[in-house]
Amino acid sequence: MKHTYLGQSGLKVSRLCLGTMNFGVDTEEKEAFRIMDAALDAGINFFDTANIYGWGANAGRTEEIIGKWFKEGSGRRERTVLATKVYGDMHDTYDGPNREQGLSAYKIRRHLEGSLKRLQTDHIELYQMHHVDRRVNWSELWGAFETAQVQGKIGYVGSSNFAGWDIAVAQGEAKARGILGLVSEQHKYNLLCRLPELEVLPASQTLGLGVIPWSPLDGGLLAGNQRRNKGGGRRSGDEKRLAKHQDQLEAYAKLCDELGEPEDVVSLAWLLSNPAVTAPIIGVRTSEQFERSLRALEVELDEETLKRIDDIFPGPGGDAPTAYAW
């Protein structure tokens, strides 16, 4: 397994990150255990979750499954770089106005304690803000995160779904406080969603954040799932999006056939070829999907292939403002 540093930190993580969003929803506990065991055996040490996974009335269920897996197996926790998130409404924990979506020192403290309890651990390596909250002053947020770090409850702080300028503001405040700041940004980024190349990726590279792409297969569209099984999408908008991108996806399937590699594998390999990317999140639902994802680590895309992929899925044309100003 290949490993790399997580942004400007000294922490090494695997080039693939195991996403657990389906655990307790589409993936039952026993299968989730098998997937996590297989990940560790393959050298994947980077696991991503969130306090709201399990969703709705079952929010927190995914963290509970991971915590039970840690508890039942010797050495599992020590071999895992654990990442979770804070922002969403954990309505099952307490009532009142401060339970709603958003960030605050109060919420960070309470939700961190809840995650630690569900995960059956005393620390989290990477604690991520699941979304930006522009109402809140960064002095408040960094103060809360610093306290948690001093207490040994979190190692590093990351962001998710931040704009490039949000990252810049956060890092500016961190520099003024003399602290490391953000080490990662988790963002939607794939062949069908390349707008992050305008500002999020350049900001992350410049300011010391590793990029962790979520939805690398765009809900299965880049794996050929909906193309091969029309109407089988998980979301109501999938059929419309399939129709919109049909020509691109057909051309992409042909290219992958020529390469002798599955579409999902090439999609992950394309992300891994970008120096801004630390580790795409593989949100697998079955052990079979997991094993298939590992192939991406072995596929090297040459310049000609990358150019052909760009021709099929054009990016924004560079970073801002070059991409659109001249």
| pLDDT single digits (tens) 160-210 | 999 999 999 999 999 999 999 999 999 999 999 999 999 999 999 999 999
Buried b (16+ CB within 10 A) or exposed e, 175-198: eeeeebbbbbbbbbbbbbbbebbb
Is 318 inside any structural domain?
no
Whether 231 shows a pLDDT value over 50: the answer reads no
Is 28 inside any structural domain?
yes
pLDDT of residue 286: 94
Please give the DSSP secondary-structure letter assigned to residue 7. Answer: T
Is 228 inside any structural domain?
no
Beta carbons within 8 Å of 300's beta carbon, 6+ residues apart: 269, 273
Inter-residue contact 58 to 24 (CB < 8 Å):
yes
The rounded percent of the chain whose pLDDT value lies above 70 is: 95
Is 258 inside any structural domain?
no
Rounded to an integer, what distance in angstroms lies between the CA atom of residue 118 and that of residue 130? 18
Is 326 inside any structural domain?
no
5 is catalytic: no
Whether 234 shows a pLDDT value over 90: the answer reads no
Is 255 inside any structural domain?
no
SS3 assignment for 42-70 = HCCCEEECCCCCCCHHHCCHHHHHHHHHH
- pTM of this structure: 0.94
Whether 238 shows a pLDDT value over 80: the answer reads no
Sign of the four-CA dihedral 159, 316, 206, 12: positive
Question: What are 79-102's pLDDT values in tens digits?
Answer: 999 999 999 987 655 667 777 789
Distance of CA 176 to the CA centre of its chain: 28
In CATH, what number is assigned to the domain containing residue 49?
3.20.20.100
Amino acid in position 185: E
Please give the DSSP secondary-structure letter assigned to residue 127. Answer: E
Rounded to an integer, what distance in angstroms lies between the CA atom of residue 301 and that of residue 92? 46
Rounded to an integer, what distance in angstroms lies between the CA atom of residue 142 and that of residue 108? 11
The torsion region of residue 307 among left (phi > 0), alpha (psi -120 to 50) and beta comes to alpha
Domain of 74 in residue numbering reads as 3-223+267-303
pLDDT of residue 86: 97
* The two three-digit tokens of residue 97, written as one number: 């106005």
Domain total in the chain: 1
Inter-residue contact 170 to 199 (CB < 8 Å):
no
Is the pLDDT higher at 90 or at 73? 73
Q: What mean pLDDT is reported for the chain?
A: 94
Is 314 inside any structural domain?
no
Q: Rounded to the nearest 5 degrees, what angle is found at the Cα of 85, between the Cα atoms of 83 and 87?
A: 175
Is 64 inside any structural domain?
yes
pLDDT of residue 233: 45
Catalytic choice (5, 53, 94, 252): 53
Query: Could you give the C-alpha distances from 55 to 25, 61, 88, 191, in angstroms and in order?
Result: 8, 8, 10, 27
